[in-house]
Amino acid sequence: MTASLKFRQLEQAADEKSRIALAAARSAARAWSTGISQRSRRDRAAAFARAALEAYVAATVPNLQLTAFQNLAPCRLDRDGLALAERIGRSVAPLPMVAALHHLTSLYPALLSQEQRSALGAFYTPPCLSARLLDLATEGGFDWATGRLLDPAAGAGAFLVQAALRLRSSLRDGEPAFVLAQVGVRLSGLELDENAARLAQASLEIALADVVLASGRPVPPVVQICDTLEEAPSPSFDLVVGNPPYGRVTLTIEQRARFSRSLYGHANLYGVFTDLALRWTKPGGLIAFLTPTSFLAGQYYAALRRLLVDEAPPVALDFVHARKGVFEDVLQETMLTVYRKGRAAGRARVHYLHIATDCEARVAANGTVGMPRDARGPWLAPRSPEHSALIAHAEGLSSRLRDWGYSVSTGPLVWNRFKSQLSDSAAGRAVHPLIWAESVTSEGRFIFRALKKHHTPYFRVEPGDEWLLIKEPCVLVQRTTAKEQARRLIAAELPASFVQSHAGVVIENHLNMIRPKGIAKVTPAVVAAVLNSQAVDQLFRCMNGSVAVSAFELEALPLPEADALEHLSLLLAEGAERVVIEAECNRLYGWMS
Ligand SMILES: C[S@@+](CC[C@H](N)C(=O)[O-])C[C@H]1O[C@@H](n2cnc3c(N)ncnc32)[C@H](O)[C@@H]1O
């Protein structure tokens, strides 16, 4: 079932021609900004966005006096920059207001240097995504007439502006002064970057211009300039919403201690903000975040997943599929998730959100996601409606590779640390085959070969390096595959005869090794066949949102009981054709391809 979002109508207002003109003006603004020194760039980028906003106000609500920029020196822009900013400000005047504000405020991060932008994680949310996330929070029970809301990484107010408009609509009969007072009491934002905070405040003034003009009062300050990581949270909000910054971050010793409950290894800012959101939310309240999908699987997010399952399990989840170019400069796969604090884990609704433009999205229902038995485990979420039956079946499978008698680790050789031991020839003492990722073919076969630059087929094991040598047969699985590839799981059995004839091999780090621990219950050929099946490949796609195929995820894959694999073993022993093997694996997973 599909539904259109309200924002489709916004798109119709901006005809193709004016969108092209706007995109061209934006490119011109970016070109203009590259001529500015790094030291002045933040100020100029902020001044540019401010000039554009002021031109927009002059064209749309000329009576409004913006107070957000009071006490600041006038914009320091050269003539060309000012003219361009004002032209952009005027040209978005025909657009619906939230779309216009997004175009104008997002000029600021777009004109920063790459390093400045990445350091802040400043990527502003297009209106269709903020609207959808607020819709999900409304469906989750957030009451606009009474609820308190916090955006802990407010940026230029993508969420606060739409929240203010919803709050105002919920108080339809309220006096303008009362509406403004309610905005001051019930909406809050935190933001590290004072330029962004000012743009957010200005955007709120524009969005609420009618009540500001009717009451003769300014919009109360909504955004506090601060480092959210250093604020002392109190559970006082009914909804914590936003698009937190993301990227690896080095925390201080005190911060690591404070967030230890949700950390494993490297910290990512969005994980830390998710942990913080839980602390700001009232019991029974909601957290609604736009984040990368990487937290759904992988060991780095295992502690965060456990925290969420225990304290605030998800109630709704949208995978975002955006047409190329819609998210300026954002490369990662993203999703919207709504969690309820203090709710017992149940099943959360899953949707697919197709974004065609800044303002147009289609929603398709995909099914539901349940929480794993091991709270640290990956979440199996359907990426398309057909996955629901597969996941339902997989949720009933309690075996894992460990139960079959296998463990997973990564190939031990990081080749560039051992360059002098790489060898083109098998001649010499202690020289063994070196197995690179290209030895595992996309059809799931092992071919001993070294095809790429710097890859050599042999490796000399020096005294002390014996730990690099693998002496038993195992299953090799490629560690990096993209969702665009025909298969995400690419596995091959490393034949026992090959290992024995060379008295051991060395396996490079771009491969996972699935190795028997003692006497395994199934053969490596069975392990490889199951991993190479379409059913398990689809299951893996439901679990993994990154390009990594990690040992942690392989170990978490739901598998049939070893006893159920007798027929598959027979088929493999008889040399049955691929289609026959596939059909048997499909049967084991109840999967209709
Ligand atoms: C991904 S942007 C989102 C902004 C806005 N909420 C939106 O959706 O358009 C993240 C914002 O977090 C801010 N930020 C980064 N680190 C922060 C911190 N430690 N404390 C507060 N804000 C921070 C950045 O300046 C940026 O404006």
- Per-residue pLDDT tens over the stretch 82-140: 999 999 999 999 999 999 999 999 999 999 999 999 999 999 999 999 999 999 999 99
In order of 435, 458, 460, 524, 565, the CA distances from 495 in angstroms are: 12, 17, 21, 9, 20
Q: What integer is the mean pLDDT of 236-246?
A: 98
Does residue 336 contact residue 305 with C-beta atoms inside 8 Å?
Answer: no
Greater pLDDT, 258 or 345: 258
Share of the chain above pLDDT 90, in %: 87
Residue 227 alpha carbon to ligand 1 centre in Å: 10
- pLDDT number for residue 345: 87
Residue 340 confidence class, pLDDT cut points 50, 70, 90: very high
* CB distance 218 to ligand 1 below 6 Å: no
- pLDDT number for residue 592: 79
How many CA atoms within 13 Å lie on the side-chain side of 586?
11
- pLDDT number for residue 328: 64
- Per-residue pLDDT tens over the stretch 291-319: 999 999 989 999 999 999 999 999 999 99
Structure tokens at 426: 């098998």
Residue 14 alpha carbon to ligand 1 centre in Å: 28
Q: How many CB atoms lie within 10 A of CB 252?
A: 10
pLDDT > 60? residue 11: no
pLDDT > 50? residue 5: no
* CB distance 112 to ligand 1 below 6 Å: no
Nearest CA to 529 out of 586, 459, 466 is that of 586
Nearest CA to ligand 1 atom 27: 155
- Per-residue pLDDT tens over the stretch 190-199: 999 999 999 9
Nearest CA to ligand 1 atom 6: 154
- pLDDT number for residue 216: 97
The atom number, within ligand 1, closest to the CA of 124 reads 9
Phi, psi of 371 (to 5 degrees): -85, 145
pLDDT > 70? residue 343: yes
Q: What integer is the mean pLDDT of 309-338?
A: 84
- Per-residue pLDDT tens over the stretch 492-503: 999 999 999 999
* CB distance 157 to ligand 1 below 6 Å: no
- Per-residue pLDDT tens over the stretch 540-585: 999 987 889 999 999 999 999 999 999 999 999 999 999 999 999 9
Greater pLDDT, 20 or 467: 467
Structure tokens at 283: 């019991």
pTM (two decimals): 0.91
Give the three-class secondary structure for 57. helix
Residue 164 alpha carbon to ligand 1 centre in Å: 19
Residue 547 alpha carbon to ligand 1 centre in Å: 26
Burial class of residue 225 in the structure, from the number of CB atoms within 10 Å of its CB (0-12 exposed, 13-18 middle, 19+ buried): middle
pLDDT > 50? residue 478: yes
- pLDDT number for residue 10: 45
- pLDDT number for residue 137: 98
Residue 226 alpha carbon to ligand 1 centre in Å: 11
Distance from C-alpha of 269 to C-alpha of 292, rounded to nearest angstrom: 11
- pLDDT number for residue 4: 39
pLDDT > 90? residue 323: no
Structure tokens at 119: 């350091």
Share of the chain above pLDDT 70, in %: 95
What ranges do the domains of the chain cover?
A: 2-374, 401-589
**SS3 readout for 408-468:** EEECCECHHHCHHHEECCCCCCCEEEEECHHHECCCCCECCCCCCCCCCCEEECCCCCHHH
Phi, psi of 366 (to 5 degrees): -115, -20
pLDDT > 80? residue 357: no
pLDDT > 60? residue 50: yes
Q: How many CB atoms lie within 10 A of CB 257?
A: 10
Q: Which of 192, 250, 287 to mutate to test the pocket of ligand 1 (most atoms within 8 A of CB)?
A: 192
Q: Which of 243, 250, 329 to mutate to test the pocket of ligand 1 (most atoms within 8 A of CB)?
A: 243
Strands 237-242 and 281-292, by their bridges, are parallel
Distance from C-alpha of 476 to C-alpha of 437, rounded to nearest angstrom: 9
- Per-residue pLDDT tens over the stretch 150-170: 999 999 999 999 999 999 999
**SS3 readout for 119-173:** HHCCCCCCHHHHHHHHHHHHHCCCCCCCCCEEECCCCCCHHHHHHHHHHHHHCCC
Q: What integer is the mean pLDDT of 437-456?
A: 96
Structure tokens at 176: 């303008």
Distance from C-alpha of 339 to C-alpha of 320, rounded to nearest angstrom: 17
- pLDDT number for residue 477: 98
Q: Which of 150, 193, 241 to mutate to test the pocket of ligand 1 (most atoms within 8 A of CB)?
A: 193
Distance from C-alpha of 162 to C-alpha of 164, rounded to nearest angstrom: 5
* CB distance 122 to ligand 1 below 6 Å: yes
Does residue 19 contact residue 95 with C-beta atoms inside 8 Å?
Answer: no
* CB distance 151 to ligand 1 below 6 Å: yes
Structure-token match 């933040």, residue found: 42
pLDDT > 50? residue 262: yes
* CB distance 203 to ligand 1 below 6 Å: no
Class of domain 401-589: alpha beta
Q: Considering the chain, what is the average pLDDT of its residues? A: 93
Q: What integer is the mean pLDDT of 366-387?
A: 93
* CB distance 147 to ligand 1 below 6 Å: no
Nearest CA to 510 out of 554, 486, 476 is that of 476
What is the secondary structure of 502-556 as a DSSP string? TT-EEEBTTEEEEEE-SS-SS-HHHHHHHHTSHHHHHHHHHH--SSB--HHHHHH
Domain 2-374 has CATH 3.40.50.150: yes
- pLDDT number for residue 15: 64
- pLDDT number for residue 331: 60
Query: In angstroms, how far is CA 121 from the centroid of its own chain?
Result: 13
- pLDDT number for residue 325: 65
- pLDDT number for residue 2: 36
- pLDDT number for residue 76: 80
* CB distance 241 to ligand 1 below 6 Å: no
Q: What integer is the mean pLDDT of 523-539?
A: 97
* CB distance 121 to ligand 1 below 6 Å: yes
